[in-house]
């Protein structure tokens, strides 16, 4: 078990909440953690050491689905109206007059 927080490492609070260390300020002896839901919090090294030694903070694996920590919703990936990606429009509308069965001149 690492005594010091490491940027990019994931940890879990006793209650089950996961977080990643995202920044360390050695001058102030503080660091920032980002919880899976995207919330960022600052923690000081003394608090870290006390919580680690009591078992309140433990090492954890990175979650398989990082969408919570990077604040991406599935709605963000959905097509917007008039984007050309909905079921009512054609993606190749600029190619309507193209005959896909006609050979180009250079092949004949």
pTM over 0.75: no
Question: Which three-class secondary structure string do you get for 77-99?
Answer: HCCCCCCCCCCCCCCCHHHCCCC
Q: Which domains does the chain have, with CATH numbers?
A: 1-62 (2.30.30.140)
Phi, psi of 33 (to 5 degrees): -120, 145
The region of weakest confidence among 7-16, 34-43, 76-85, 91-100 is 76-85
Q: What is the pLDDT of residues 84-94, one digit of tens each?
A: 555 554 555 56
**H or E element that contains 19:** strand 18-25
């Amino acid at each position: 078990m690492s005594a010091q927080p490491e940027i990019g490492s994931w940890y879990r609070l006793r209650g089950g909440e996961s977080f990643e260390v995202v920044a360390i300020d050695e001058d102030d002896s503080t660091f920032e953690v980002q919880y899976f839901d995207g919330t960022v919090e600052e923690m000081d090294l003394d608090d870290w050491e006390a919580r680690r030694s009591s078992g309140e903070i433990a090492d954890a694996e990175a979650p398989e689905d990082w969408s919570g920590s990077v604040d991406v919703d599935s709605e963000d990936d959905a097509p917007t109206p008039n984007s050309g990606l909905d079921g009512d429009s054609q993606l190749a509308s600029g190619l309507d007059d193209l005959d896909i069965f006609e050979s180009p001149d250079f092949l004949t």
